[in-house]
């Protein structure tokens, strides 16, 4: 297994390359759109246009959402960046404290409640991936992993 592949497997068992936030061009395009709107002083246009088109009453909210999209961008994997978000990840802290490469090395995986914050987006995928790693090793995760997000309807590749 290449070092790059190992770096892309998060402590929780998720595969960073599958994440919509990881090095995604959507965030770059959102930034480009924000830059273009600013450069053209589109806000001044909107200030006047609001009087004749109610759609533009929501422009400030649109810009807020666009800024939020830009801020989602993630350029470094969990292992390299020390977590995938700006909060203290209990999973990462626990693995480091116990000297584990990941949760797949822990005997308490099935009973662990530290995965709860991941369930809304990922369902049981992190724990399922940890089980796959236990069975087949890190080198096989890329080919056998489960869908990253709960809305991913693609077939499981195992």
pLDDT in tens, the chain (158 residues): 444 677 888 899 988 888 888 778 898 999 999 999 999 999 999 999 999 999 999 999 999 999 999 988 877 777 776 666 656 788 888 998 999 999 999 999 988 999 998 888 888 889 999 999 999 988 888 777 777 777 776 644 44
Q: What is the pLDDT of residue 87?
A: 60
Question: According to the model, what pLDDT value does residue 34 have?
Answer: 95
Q: Are residues 68 and 90 in the same domain?
A: no
Shared domain for 14 and 29, answered yes or no, is no
CA atoms within 13 A on the CB side of 104: 21
- Crossing angle for the helix pair 25-39 and 42-49, to the nearest 10 degrees: 70
Domain limits for position 102: 3-18+81-144
Token output for 34: 């924000």
Whether residues 44 and 90 fall in one domain? no
Q: What is the pLDDT of residue 44?
A: 95
CB atoms within 10 A of CB 22: 20
Q: State whether 50 and 85 are in the same domain.
A: no
Whether residues 93 and 66 share a domain: the answer is no
Structural domain total, the chain: 2
CA distances from 35 to 67, 94, 119, 137 (A): 11, 41, 35, 44
């Amino acid at each position: 297994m290449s070092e790059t592949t190992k770096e892309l497997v998060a402590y929780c068992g998720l595969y960073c390359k599958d994440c919509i936030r990881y090095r995604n061009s959507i965030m770059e395009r959102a930034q480009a759109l924000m830059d273009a709107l600013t450069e053209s002083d589109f806000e001044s246009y909107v200030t006047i246009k609001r009087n004749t088109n109610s759609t533009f009453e929501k422009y400030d909210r649109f810009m807020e959402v666009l800024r939020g999209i830009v801020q989602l961008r993630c350029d470094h994997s969990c292992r390299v960046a020390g977590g995938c978000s700006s909060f203290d990840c209990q999973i990462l802290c626990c693995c480091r404290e116990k000297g584990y490469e990941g949760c797949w090395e822990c005997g308490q995986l099935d009973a662990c409640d530290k995965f709860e914050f991941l369930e809304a987006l990922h369902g049981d995928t992190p724990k399922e991936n940890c089980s796959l790693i236990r069975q087949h090793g890190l080198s096989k995760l890329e080919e056998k992993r489960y869908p990253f997000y709960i809305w991913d309807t693609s077939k499981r590749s195992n």
